Protein backbone atom coordinates (compact mmCIF):
# COMPACT_ATOMS: atom_id res chain seq x y z
CA UNK A 1 0.00 0.00 0.00
CA UNK A 2 1.48 3.35 -1.02
CA UNK A 3 1.09 5.97 1.67
CA UNK A 4 1.15 9.67 0.78
CA UNK A 5 3.38 11.91 2.85
CA UNK A 6 3.06 15.68 3.07
CA UNK A 7 5.59 17.46 0.91
CA UNK A 8 6.32 14.47 -1.33
CA UNK A 9 5.37 15.51 -4.85
CA UNK A 10 5.39 11.96 -6.14
CA UNK A 11 3.46 10.25 -3.34
CA UNK A 12 0.02 11.12 -4.65
CA UNK A 13 0.87 10.17 -8.23
CA UNK A 14 2.86 7.02 -7.71
CA UNK A 15 0.97 3.83 -8.55
CA UNK A 16 1.45 0.13 -8.14
CA UNK A 17 3.25 -0.09 -11.49
CA UNK A 18 5.80 2.53 -10.41
CA UNK A 19 6.44 0.66 -7.16
CA UNK A 20 6.81 -2.57 -9.13
CA UNK A 21 9.41 -0.99 -11.40
CA UNK A 22 11.35 0.36 -8.43
CA UNK A 23 11.05 -2.99 -6.70
CA UNK A 24 12.37 -5.05 -9.59
CA UNK A 25 15.16 -2.52 -10.14
CA UNK A 26 16.08 -2.64 -6.44
CA UNK A 27 16.26 -6.42 -6.41
CA UNK A 28 18.29 -6.29 -9.60
CA UNK A 29 20.78 -3.97 -7.89
CA UNK A 30 20.96 -6.17 -4.80
CA UNK A 31 21.49 -9.25 -6.98
CA UNK A 32 24.17 -7.44 -8.98
CA UNK A 33 26.01 -6.63 -5.76
CA UNK A 34 25.93 -10.29 -4.73
CA UNK A 35 27.15 -11.50 -8.13
CA UNK A 36 29.91 -8.94 -8.49
CA UNK A 37 31.20 -9.54 -4.98
CA UNK A 38 31.31 -13.28 -5.68
CA UNK A 39 32.88 -12.81 -9.12
CA UNK A 40 35.55 -10.54 -7.63
CA UNK A 41 36.80 -13.46 -5.54
CA UNK A 42 37.36 -15.54 -8.69
CA UNK A 43 39.16 -12.81 -10.64
CA UNK A 44 42.44 -14.03 -12.14
CA UNK A 45 44.24 -10.78 -11.27
CA UNK A 46 44.27 -8.34 -8.37
CA UNK A 47 43.31 -5.51 -10.70
CA UNK A 48 40.26 -7.49 -11.82
CA UNK A 49 39.34 -8.24 -8.23
CA UNK A 50 39.61 -4.57 -7.31
CA UNK A 51 37.60 -3.44 -10.33
CA UNK A 52 34.67 -5.74 -9.61
CA UNK A 53 34.76 -4.89 -5.90
CA UNK A 54 34.37 -1.20 -6.77
CA UNK A 55 31.47 -2.04 -9.10
CA UNK A 56 29.80 -4.08 -6.35
CA UNK A 57 30.08 -1.12 -3.98
CA UNK A 58 28.40 1.10 -6.57
CA UNK A 59 25.51 -1.36 -6.95
CA UNK A 60 24.78 -1.41 -3.23
CA UNK A 61 24.93 2.39 -3.27
CA UNK A 62 22.21 2.38 -5.93
CA UNK A 63 20.18 -0.03 -3.82
CA UNK A 64 20.34 2.40 -0.89
CA UNK A 65 19.07 5.24 -3.07
CA UNK A 66 16.06 3.17 -4.13
CA UNK A 67 15.44 2.12 -0.54
CA UNK A 68 15.38 5.74 0.62
CA UNK A 69 13.05 6.79 -2.21
CA UNK A 70 10.59 3.97 -1.59
CA UNK A 71 10.66 4.72 2.13
CA UNK A 72 9.66 8.29 1.32
CA UNK A 73 6.68 6.89 -0.55
CA UNK A 74 5.69 4.78 2.45
CA UNK A 75 6.79 1.50 0.86
CA UNK A 76 9.27 -0.84 2.62
CA UNK A 77 11.80 -1.96 0.04
CA UNK A 78 11.41 -5.63 0.96
CA UNK A 79 7.70 -5.39 0.09
CA UNK A 80 8.46 -3.79 -3.28
CA UNK A 81 11.08 -6.42 -4.12
CA UNK A 82 9.19 -9.50 -2.88
CA UNK A 83 7.23 -10.30 -6.10
CA UNK A 84 10.44 -10.37 -8.14
CA UNK A 85 12.74 -12.46 -5.95
CA UNK A 86 11.72 -15.85 -7.33
CA UNK A 87 11.70 -14.95 -11.07
CA UNK A 88 15.00 -13.05 -10.93
CA UNK A 89 16.66 -15.76 -8.84
CA UNK A 90 15.46 -18.29 -11.42
CA UNK A 91 16.95 -16.22 -14.24
CA UNK A 92 20.31 -15.94 -12.49
CA UNK A 93 20.34 -19.63 -11.59
CA UNK A 94 19.60 -20.60 -15.21
CA UNK A 95 22.34 -18.31 -16.51
CA UNK A 96 25.04 -19.03 -13.94
CA UNK A 97 28.45 -18.24 -15.52
CA UNK A 98 30.95 -21.06 -15.74
CA UNK A 99 34.01 -18.84 -15.99
CA UNK A 100 35.38 -15.39 -15.20
CA UNK A 101 34.88 -14.28 -18.80
CA UNK A 102 31.26 -15.48 -18.85
CA UNK A 103 30.72 -13.46 -15.66
CA UNK A 104 31.98 -10.33 -17.38
CA UNK A 105 29.84 -10.91 -20.46
CA UNK A 106 26.76 -11.45 -18.29
CA UNK A 107 27.41 -8.27 -16.31
CA UNK A 108 27.99 -6.26 -19.48
CA UNK A 109 25.33 -7.73 -21.76
CA UNK A 110 22.68 -8.92 -19.32
CA UNK A 111 22.77 -5.92 -17.01
CA UNK A 112 23.06 -3.62 -20.02
CA UNK A 113 19.90 -5.05 -21.55
CA UNK A 114 17.98 -4.47 -18.31
CA UNK A 115 19.36 -0.93 -18.05
CA UNK A 116 18.21 -0.13 -21.60
CA UNK A 117 14.68 -1.18 -20.70
CA UNK A 118 14.60 0.87 -17.51
CA UNK A 119 15.90 3.94 -19.35
CA UNK A 120 13.05 3.59 -21.82
CA UNK A 121 10.39 3.52 -19.12
CA UNK A 122 12.04 6.13 -16.86
CA UNK A 123 10.48 8.87 -18.95
CA UNK A 124 7.03 7.47 -18.20
CA UNK A 125 7.53 7.67 -14.43
CA UNK A 126 6.44 10.71 -12.40
CA UNK A 127 8.88 13.47 -11.40
CA UNK A 128 11.73 12.51 -9.13
CA UNK A 129 11.00 8.79 -9.51
CA UNK A 130 12.06 8.85 -13.16
CA UNK A 131 15.08 11.01 -12.30
CA UNK A 132 16.14 8.51 -9.65
CA UNK A 133 15.94 5.61 -12.10
CA UNK A 134 18.24 7.47 -14.51
CA UNK A 135 20.70 8.13 -11.67
CA UNK A 136 20.70 4.50 -10.58
CA UNK A 137 21.44 3.39 -14.14
CA UNK A 138 24.66 5.40 -14.31
CA UNK A 139 27.58 3.31 -15.59
CA UNK A 140 29.50 1.77 -12.68
CA UNK A 141 32.56 0.96 -14.77
CA UNK A 142 31.39 -2.31 -16.35
CA UNK A 143 31.75 -1.01 -19.86
CA UNK A 144 35.40 -0.13 -20.29
CA UNK A 145 36.69 -2.90 -18.01
CA UNK A 146 34.57 -5.67 -19.55
CA UNK A 147 35.28 -4.54 -23.10
CA UNK A 148 39.03 -4.56 -22.50
CA UNK A 149 39.12 -7.96 -20.78
CA UNK A 150 36.77 -9.79 -23.15
CA UNK A 151 38.24 -8.33 -26.35
CA UNK A 152 41.74 -9.36 -25.27
CA UNK A 153 40.58 -12.90 -24.56
CA UNK A 154 38.76 -13.13 -27.90
CA UNK A 155 41.79 -11.85 -29.79
CA UNK A 156 43.90 -14.57 -28.16
CA UNK A 157 41.53 -17.47 -28.88
CA UNK A 158 38.94 -18.05 -31.61
CA UNK A 159 37.46 -20.88 -29.53
CA UNK A 160 36.92 -18.53 -26.57
CA UNK A 161 35.34 -15.93 -28.85
CA UNK A 162 32.88 -18.42 -30.37
CA UNK A 163 31.90 -19.78 -26.95
CA UNK A 164 31.31 -16.31 -25.51
CA UNK A 165 29.34 -15.25 -28.60
CA UNK A 166 26.93 -18.15 -28.03
CA UNK A 167 26.74 -17.20 -24.35
CA UNK A 168 25.87 -13.61 -25.20
CA UNK A 169 23.05 -14.68 -27.53
CA UNK A 170 21.69 -17.06 -24.91
CA UNK A 171 21.61 -14.26 -22.33
CA UNK A 172 19.46 -12.15 -24.64
CA UNK A 173 16.92 -14.91 -25.11
CA UNK A 174 16.78 -15.79 -21.41
CA UNK A 175 16.42 -12.14 -20.36
CA UNK A 176 13.58 -11.43 -22.79
CA UNK A 177 11.73 -14.60 -21.78
CA UNK A 178 12.03 -13.82 -18.08
CA UNK A 179 10.96 -10.20 -18.55
CA UNK A 180 7.85 -11.36 -20.41
CA UNK A 181 6.98 -13.71 -17.54
CA UNK A 182 7.37 -10.98 -14.93
CA UNK A 183 5.20 -8.52 -16.84
CA UNK A 184 2.56 -11.17 -17.54
CA UNK A 185 2.17 -11.78 -13.81
CA UNK A 186 1.81 -8.07 -12.91
CA UNK A 187 -1.30 -6.67 -14.59
CA UNK A 188 -0.77 -3.03 -13.62
CA UNK A 189 2.84 -3.17 -14.73
CA UNK A 190 1.76 -4.62 -18.09
CA UNK A 191 -0.86 -1.88 -18.50
CA UNK A 192 1.73 0.76 -17.60
CA UNK A 193 4.16 -0.47 -20.24
CA UNK A 194 1.50 -0.74 -22.93
CA UNK A 195 0.22 2.77 -22.19
CA UNK A 196 3.75 4.20 -22.05
CA UNK A 197 4.65 2.64 -25.39
CA UNK A 198 1.34 3.99 -26.80
CA UNK A 199 0.31 0.64 -28.31
CA UNK A 200 1.56 -2.82 -29.27
CA UNK A 201 3.39 -1.32 -32.24
CA UNK A 202 5.32 0.82 -29.78
CA UNK A 203 6.23 -2.24 -27.74
CA UNK A 204 7.49 -3.99 -30.88
CA UNK A 205 9.65 -0.94 -31.63
CA UNK A 206 10.94 -0.98 -28.06
CA UNK A 207 11.98 -4.62 -28.38
CA UNK A 208 13.78 -3.86 -31.64
CA UNK A 209 15.73 -1.07 -29.94
CA UNK A 210 16.71 -3.40 -27.11
CA UNK A 211 17.88 -6.03 -29.59
CA UNK A 212 19.80 -3.41 -31.56
CA UNK A 213 21.60 -2.19 -28.46
CA UNK A 214 22.40 -5.77 -27.53
CA UNK A 215 23.99 -6.25 -30.94
CA UNK A 216 26.09 -3.12 -30.48
CA UNK A 217 27.36 -4.37 -27.13
CA UNK A 218 28.30 -7.69 -28.68
CA UNK A 219 30.32 -5.84 -31.32
CA UNK A 220 32.14 -3.83 -28.65
CA UNK A 221 33.08 -7.05 -26.90
CA UNK A 222 34.40 -8.53 -30.13
CA UNK A 223 31.63 -11.12 -30.21
CA UNK A 224 29.82 -10.22 -33.42
CATH at 145: 1.20.1260.10
Q: What percent of the chain has pLDDT over 70?
A: 89
b (16+ CB within 10 A) / e for 40-60: beebeeeebeebbbebbebbe
> Rounded CA gap, 160 and 54, in Å?
26
Inside any domain, residue 64: yes
Domain annotation covers residue 1: no
pTM above 0.75, yes or no: yes
9 lies in a domain? no
On whether residue 2 sits in a domain, the answer given is no
Residue 70, domain member (yes or no): yes
**Is pLDDT above 60 for 59?**
yes
Decide if 48 contacts 149 (C-beta within 8 A): yes
Angle at the Cα of 181 from the Cα atoms of 17 and 174, rounded to 5 degrees: 120
125 belongs to a structural domain: yes
Which domain does 120 fall in, by range? 16-220
What does R_g of the chain's alpha carbons equal in angstroms? 18
| 6 domain-assigned | no
pLDDT of residue 4: 38
Determine contact, residues 129/10, Cβ cutoff 8 Å: yes
Q: Tell me, yes or no, whether 4 lies in a domain.
A: no
Q: What percent of the chain has pLDDT over 90?
A: 42
Total tally of structural domains belonging to the chain: 1
Q: Residue 193 pLDDT more than 80?
A: no
Amino acid sequence: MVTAHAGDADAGAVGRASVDLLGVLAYGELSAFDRLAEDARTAPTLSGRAALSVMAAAEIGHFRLLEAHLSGLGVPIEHAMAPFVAPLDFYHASTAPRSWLESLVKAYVGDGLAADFYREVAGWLPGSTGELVQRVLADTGHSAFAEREVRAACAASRQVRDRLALWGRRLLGEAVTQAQRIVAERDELADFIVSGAADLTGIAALLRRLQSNHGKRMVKLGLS
